[in-house]
Structure 1
Amino acid sequence: MFTFIDVFAGIGGFRRGCELAGGICIWSCEKDKFARQTYACNFDVDYHEFAEDIEDVDPKVIPDHDVLLAGFPCQPFSTAGRREGFAHETQGTLFFELAKIIKEKQPKAFLLENVKGLLSHKSGSTMFTIMRALDELGYRVYPKIIDADGFVPQHRERVYLAGVRDGIDLGWHKLMGPWNTFEAPQKGSIQLRHILEPHDQVPAKYTLSDRFMAGLLTHKAKQAAKGNSFSYRVFRPSDVAGTLTASYAKSGQSILIHQGEDKNPRKLTPRECARLMGYPEHFKISVSDVQAYKQFGNSVVPPLIRAVMNAMLPWDYRE
């Protein structure tokens, strides 16, 4: 059993994966009021602090913990003052708030998540700054891009940074870190048919109207005439979907579900989005469709987090 804190908690994807791996959450932080609502509906937040704005938190008041978890937003970093180290280079970014917590609380390990583009952001300088900052704080960091395909029926590549404090032996291979023992299921082993509702049970509002479909076709033709690519993606039950994004409410054509040759395709329902992200049936959705799409599109995949944590965990808690 280990303790963890849930920073930029969202709706609790990190928390659920970590709890499945045997962890106990002792502190959470999330600013978005609708995400906080969903989080509080699904997790017991009465026995620990549930902070709102990380920028208002003094790291000293955060309880000591074994693992820090965070899917942090990627913001621009300073390109000046590289000799001053992380305190100068990351000032004003939300990553800086994480760095302050890590410096103050010195957790045994951390797991950070971000979009794959973090690796190439600003020609790699952002990633360099992050890695250098964490090294200065006394941590060995092991990055890896992982596709959620196999854990869920969705191609979803994200970069994960697994870190361990210097002097702690987790039994990791020196070059690969936890990824030496990390096991991912076979891609395609879970298909959309495993998460979709029967068509006759899906409310009609999720089916695209003839007018909307005509607009998609017109827009596609206009873009093609300009030499630009634009397409809506229609998936069948035997397929693996593309990436669910936070803008799915507005750009639902990125994942459309085939309903037969004589019927327009439809969008995923919020419950199907929950399943697409690996949330269980008992996970409560207490917000509007628009907010639910945003929340699941911003989430991590809990079954994947569980697998990563199981690969990270072979430390001796009696340190």
Structure 2
Amino acid sequence: MAKQIHIRLEDSLFEALSEYTDTSGQSVQDVISSSIMQMLSNQMQAAESKEARFTFIDLFAGIGGMRIAFERQGGDCVYSNEWNKYCQQTYFANFGEQPDGDITKVDARIIPDHDILVAGFPCQPFSIAGVSKKQSLGRATGFEDKTQGTLFFDVCRIIKAKRPKAFMLENVKNLKSHDKGNTFKVIMESLDELDYEVFHAILDGQNYVPQHRERILIVGFDRKRYGNDFDFKFDITPAEPKPLMKDILEETPDSRYTLSDKLWIYLQNYAEKHRAAGNGFGYGIADPNGIARTLSARYYKDGSEILIAQEGGNPRRLTPRECARLQGFPDSFKIVVSDTQAYKQFGNSVVVPLMTDVAGLIVSKLDEMDGESCES
């Protein structure tokens, strides 16, 4: 729920604000809100003094799922970046910090030094036209040629500028097959060129939450610091007992989450049409003693992929709090945006307890290798 305030501005400040909003394309409300959040962030960061096991940065931060994971392992987040203003609102409400905006405009030199870089970057195709031309001319190409114009390029340039001890990158499972495998090939070549020993695995969140959710994790360690004579394994420890859908459901969800007759009839007809055509498309009623399909950012549209049966009535969609639980967020996590934005945010987020386990593996490996470096 937004609150209204009225403020008085000197003429010169108002003119400067108007000029800025005209050139930036932002509304006055967005500029003022962002400025206030940044001011409060700076004050809170200055007041905090943390004893941290390690430092990390949170890129493409979303609503902070990765931040929770790495903080649970004793880390101190020294920088965050997220361009979506609604995600920024949620991030600020939960961490008291306003993430930086457009990463393509961030000078890597201003980012604080850190031990681990964390990024859930978007999956984008790489243009190979320019690379092919250079190769035909016998000229070598590097990550700056291959990844230019993509957001992964910004991850690479920050790694190159700051040389963290390690990084963890997260993406959808299909990253490996995206653009006929070219996208993943370029990513691995680029990280190798940056002189990092890289490991990757596809992990399923259903070991931690009642949701089938496969994601690829790419972990790298600085060869300049640690060499390459070591191994890293994704030896995660699944939760016991295995979580079930009934564990995350609210006892008395609001009736507004029940599907209308019109929507429920539409979904049934849509499913029947595709069933007759031999397709598997359609709604999904979640088994309370089982796991759900993958929660997606489109869940706000109709909730069809994960519906909850209701005795004597139409099924309902999950509430935003149930979506948060399905991703492993604690109930203390504040949801401060509309239902539509909350569904998008949790649908785009990570399985927090899974990421917490992997973060622990990375930190333990760094402790081990730093210890060996000290002994030698």
What is the TM-score with the length of structure 1 in the denominator? 0.92
DSSP-derived class of the 1:158 partner = strand
1:153–1:188 contact (8 Å) kept in structure 2:
no
Equivalent residue for 1:61, pick from 110, 113, 118: 110
1:13–1:302 contact (8 Å) kept in structure 2:
yes
- Structure 2: distance between partners of 1:172 and 1:244: 39
Equivalent residue for 1:129, pick from 186, 189, 211: 186
Equivalent residue for 2:247, pick from 177, 182, 194: 194
- Structure 1: distance between partners of 2:199 and 2:124: 21
1:172 Cα deviation after fit:
8.8
Cα displacement string for residues 140-169 of structure 1 (whole angstroms, at most 9, x for unaligned residues): 110100000121111100000011010444
1:70–1:113 contact (8 Å) kept in structure 2:
yes
Call closer, same or farther: CA 1:90–1:313 in 2, change over 3 Å.
same
The corresponding residue for 1:147 is 204
Aligned residue type for 2:103? I
Relative contact order (C-alpha < 8 Å, sep 6+): which is higher?
1
The correspondence of residues 234-249 of structure 1 with structure 2, limited to 5 A, is: 234-249=285-300
2:81–2:103 contact (8 Å) kept in structure 1:
yes
Cα displacement string for residues 163-192 of structure 1 (whole angstroms, at most 9, x for unaligned residues): 101044499953xx132xx22316870001
Q: Does 1:22 align with 2:74?
A: yes
The corresponding residue for 1:289 is 339
Call closer, same or farther: CA 1:312–1:296 in 2, change over 3 Å.
same
The corresponding residue for 1:31 is 83
1:212 Cα deviation after fit:
1.4
1:256 Cα deviation after fit:
0.4
Call closer, same or farther: CA 1:245–1:188 in 2, change over 3 Å.
farther
Q: Does 1:178 align with 2:243?
A: no
Structure number with greater Rg is: 2
1:85 Cα deviation after fit:
1.6
1:242 Cα deviation after fit:
1.0
The correspondence of residues 1-319 of structure 1 with structure 2, limited to 5 A, is: 1-45=53-97, 50-80=99-129, 81=131, 83-169=140-226, 174=231, 177-179=232-234, 182-185=235-238, 189-198=242-251, 201-260=252-311, 262-314=312-364, 315-316=366-367
Q: Percent identity?
A: 49
- Structure 1: distance between partners of 2:329 and 2:229: 29
2:197–2:228 contact (8 Å) kept in structure 1:
no
1:170–1:312 contact (8 Å) kept in structure 2:
no
Cα displacement string for residues 219-245 of structure 1 (whole angstroms, at most 9, x for unaligned residues): 122223434332210013211111100
The corresponding residue for 2:137 is none
Cα displacement string for residues 255-300 of structure 1 (whole angstroms, at most 9, x for unaligned residues): 001222x221110000000111111111000000000000000011
The count of corresponding residues between Structure 1 and Structure 2 is 309
Q: Give ranges in structure 2 of 5+ residues lacking alignment.
A: 1-52, 133-139
- Structure 2: distance between partners of 1:146 and 1:170: 26
- Structure 1: distance between partners of 2:169 and 2:101: 19
DSSP-derived class of the 1:211 partner = helix
2:274–2:282 contact (8 Å) kept in structure 1:
no
What is the TM-score with the length of structure 2 in the denominator? 0.79
Cα displacement string for residues 101-150 of structure 1 (whole angstroms, at most 9, x for unaligned residues): 00000000000000000001111111010000000001011010000012
Call closer, same or farther: CA 1:255–1:187 in 2, change over 3 Å.
farther
DSSP-derived class of the 2:313 partner = coil
Aligned residue type for 1:231? G
- Structure 1: distance between partners of 2:240 and 2:306: 18
1:178–1:312 contact (8 Å) kept in structure 2:
no
